[in-house]
């Protein structure tokens, strides 16, 4: 291009109404103002590239391009390579890096919006449209700022939740017989307890292919559980767990008494039995309970999740409450469990029959109530509660309540699930939502003796639930 042609092109560009407008043309200035404000919101940096500081505009456009590339990659990953995408997202440094990038982008976006209002020259636009142009520019700038703050907060909260709750030390164990098995413990650390015992014991079995979930409920007072092969507990209990009468520190044969037998009644707290427990983010009493439930069910259970029942109410409130269908009117409030004193004399409230939306406090009374009910009824209600909470963990609910859920989860949850398995579990959780949960209750109604359990029968029940027989196709 010749020098004369370059000068001509530059002259034409300088006469363009976007970059070199006629300030006296109110109609053109008004139209230009609308275009600049909207373009800046849709393509940050475009207003400066067209009408302002081109260097600032190029910065905005490059950052916008980076953001859109990341969004497209994330969308394609979610659609085509979900497990791999989740692995990248849950990598230790990914979320903090994304939070920094988003924070920088949000700040630049707001700066560009303010600069765009300068470029518009609102006083040169037509009244009353100048007021609406200014109002739209300020609203869009506020939307950008709020979006940036929300996004950064979400990324930081998610990163903190992963760092605080999942283990970086526990080994990754492949699925056993097609299932990931996780021991779910409801820890009852209520006032007046001299030791922490597990009020609720379950095994969550997750099908490694389909994500289908089956929950096996183990009664907390079930006695004489055997220990799995290779357990250090076999040295002291070669056939089955037994009670020990001692006024100073004793225990019964119930499976939830393992906390006393392993930790609280031993000077070393069980460290000699399970020397690697702490290193793998677990506890000796948890490992012993795993071994007992493994021996009882025949399942390999490498991981646990323990939830403090005293704080579980906060988690329920964090997910917005749970909806339960109540079969029997139950009292709220402390009082006698099994004597003849009418509940009307001590109840602080009632949980009525029918479908009820419960907050955390009410849900805990529902799960724990002993009035006119048995421990087996309580087991069933606890299972209902677990299922209801899991059903509330929708992506939409977690996104809108992430900070509350993360805070509640960090306060009440302990686990040795490896962080490296989180993407796999999240991927399976998506599939699990498409299917109904199965359950196995090891109670007398299912023919399970609570004092002398038939281990072979129990293991067959669990196997049949996880591997149901398929009907042969009709010929």
414 φ, ψ to 5°? -130, 140
Q: Both tokens of residue 289?
A: 């309970």
Quickly tell me which residue has 């393509």 as its tokens. 43
Element (H, E) at 51: helix 46-51
Same domain, residue pair 206 and 65: no
Q: Both tokens of residue 7?
A: 């000068």
Nearest residue to 186 via CA among 174, 204, 163:
204
Alpha helices in 298-357 (DSSP H): 312-318
pLDDT at residue 344, rounded to an integer: 62
Note whether residue 378 is domain-resident: no
Note whether residue 256 is domain-resident: no
> Cβ(300)–Cβ(378) under 8 Å?
no
Question: Which residues make Cβ contacts (< 8 Å) with residue 161, sequence separation at least 6?
Answer: 406, 409, 410
Supply the pTM of this predicted model.
Answer: 0.75
Tens-digit pLDDT profile for the chain (475 aa)? 444 444 443 443 444 677 778 778 888 888 888 999 999 998 998 888 888 888 998 998 999 999 889 889 888 887 888 878 888 888 888 888 889 988 999 899 899 999 998 888 888 888 888 899 889 989 998 998 888 888 888 888 888 878 877 877 788 899 999 999 999 988 765 544 444 678 788 999 999 999 999 999 898 889 999 999 999 999 999 999 999 888 888 899 999 999 999 998 998 999 999 999 988 889 999 999 999 999 999 999 999 988 876 667 777 887 788 888 888 777 776 654 445 566 666 667 787 888 888 888 888 888 777 666 667 777 778 777 777 777 766 656 665 666 666 666 666 678 889 888 888 888 888 888 788 888 898 988 888 999 999 999 999 999 999 998 764 444 4
Note whether residue 369 is domain-resident: no
User: Where a domain ends, among 99, 133, 165?
Assistant: 165
Same domain, residue pair 413 and 305: yes
Rounded CA-CA distance 391/372 in Å is 28
Same domain, residue pair 105 and 187: no
pLDDT at residue 433, rounded to an integer: 77
Quickly tell me which residue has 């990163």 as its tokens. 159
Rounded CA-CA distance 29/24 in Å is 8
Q: Both tokens of residue 288?
A: 């012993």
pLDDT at residue 388, rounded to an integer: 76
Same domain, residue pair 49 and 96: yes
Alpha helices in 242-307 (DSSP H): 258-259, 284-297
Note whether residue 398 is domain-resident: yes
Note whether residue 64 is domain-resident: yes
Alpha helices in 52-194 (DSSP H): 54-80, 82-89, 94-120, 129-165
pLDDT tens figures, 432-450 = 878 888 889 898 888 899 9
CATH number of the domain that residue 419 is part of: 3.40.630.190
Structural domain that includes position 157: 15-165
Rounded CA-CA distance 260/241 in Å is 12
Rounded CA-CA distance 434/136 in Å is 42
Q: Both tokens of residue 453?
A: 């359990």
Note whether residue 2 is domain-resident: no
What total of structural domains would you count in the chain? 2
Same domain, residue pair 137 and 214: no
Same domain, residue pair 121 and 191: no
Same domain, residue pair 193 and 85: no
Task: Considering only the C-alpha atoms of the chain, give the largest distance between any 2 of them, rounded to a whole number of Å.
Answer: 106
Same domain, residue pair 121 and 184: no
Note whether residue 115 is domain-resident: yes
Note whether residue 144 is domain-resident: yes
């Amino acid at each position: 291009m010749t020098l004369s042609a370059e000068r001509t092109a530059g002259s034409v560009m300088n006469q363009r109404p976007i970059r070199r407008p006629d300030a006296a043309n109110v109609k053109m200035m008004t139209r230009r103002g609308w275009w600049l404000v909207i373009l800046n919101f849709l393509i940050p940096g475009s207003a400066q590239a067209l009408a302002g500081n081109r260097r600032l505009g190029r910065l905005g456009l490059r950052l916008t391009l980076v953001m859109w590339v990341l969004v497209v990659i994330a969308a394609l990953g979610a659609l085509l390579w979900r497990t791999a995408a989740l692995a990248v997202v849950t990598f230790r440094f990914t979320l903090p890096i994304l939070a920094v990038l988003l924070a920088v982008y949000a700040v630049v976006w707001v700066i560009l919006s303010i600069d765009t209002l300068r470029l518009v020259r609102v006083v040169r636009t037509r009244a009353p449209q100048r007021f609406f142009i200014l109002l739209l520019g300020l609203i869009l700038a506020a939307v950008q700022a709020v979006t940036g703050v929300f996004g950064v907060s979400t990324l930081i909260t998610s990163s903190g939740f992963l760092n605080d709750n999942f283990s970086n030390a526990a080994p990754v164990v492949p699925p056993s017989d097609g299932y990931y098995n996780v021991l779910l413990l409801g820890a009852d650390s209520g006032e007046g307890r001299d030791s922490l015992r597990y009020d609720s014991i379950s095994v969550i079995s997750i099908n490694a292919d389909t994500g289908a979930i089956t929950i096996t409920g183990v009664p907390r007072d079930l006695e004489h559980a055997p220990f799995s092969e290779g357990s250090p507990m076999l040295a002291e209990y070669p056939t089955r767990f037994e009670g020990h009468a001692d006024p100073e520190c004793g225990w019964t044969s119930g499976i939830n008494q393992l906390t006393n037998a392993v930790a609280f009644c031993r000077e070393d707290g069980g460290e000699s039995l399970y020397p690697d427990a702490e290193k793998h983010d677990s506890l000796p009493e948890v490992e012993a309970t795993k071994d007992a439930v493994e021996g009882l069910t025949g399942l390999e259970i490498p991981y646990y999740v323990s939830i403090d029942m005293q704080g579980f109410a906060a988690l329920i409130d964090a997910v917005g409450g749970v909806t339960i269908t109540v079969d029997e009117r139950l009292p709220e409030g402390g009082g006698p469990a099994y004597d003849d004193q009418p509940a009307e004399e001590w109840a602080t409230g009632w949980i009525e029959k029918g479908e009820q939306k419960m907050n955390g406090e009410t849900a805990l009374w529902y799960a724990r109530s002993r009035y006119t009910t048995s421990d087996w009824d309580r087991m069933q209600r606890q299972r209902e509660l677990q299922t209801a909470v899991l059903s509330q963990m929708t992506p939409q609910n977690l996104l809108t309540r992430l900070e509350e859920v993360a805070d509640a989860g960090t306060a009440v949850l302990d686990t040795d699930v490896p962080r490296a398995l989180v993407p796999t579990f999240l991927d399976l959780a998506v599939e699990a939502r498409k299917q109904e949960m199965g359950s196995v209750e090891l109670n007398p109604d299912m023919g399970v003796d609570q004092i002398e359990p038939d281990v072979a029968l129990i293991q067959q029940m669990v196997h049949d639930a996880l591997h149901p027989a398929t009907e042969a196709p009709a010929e």
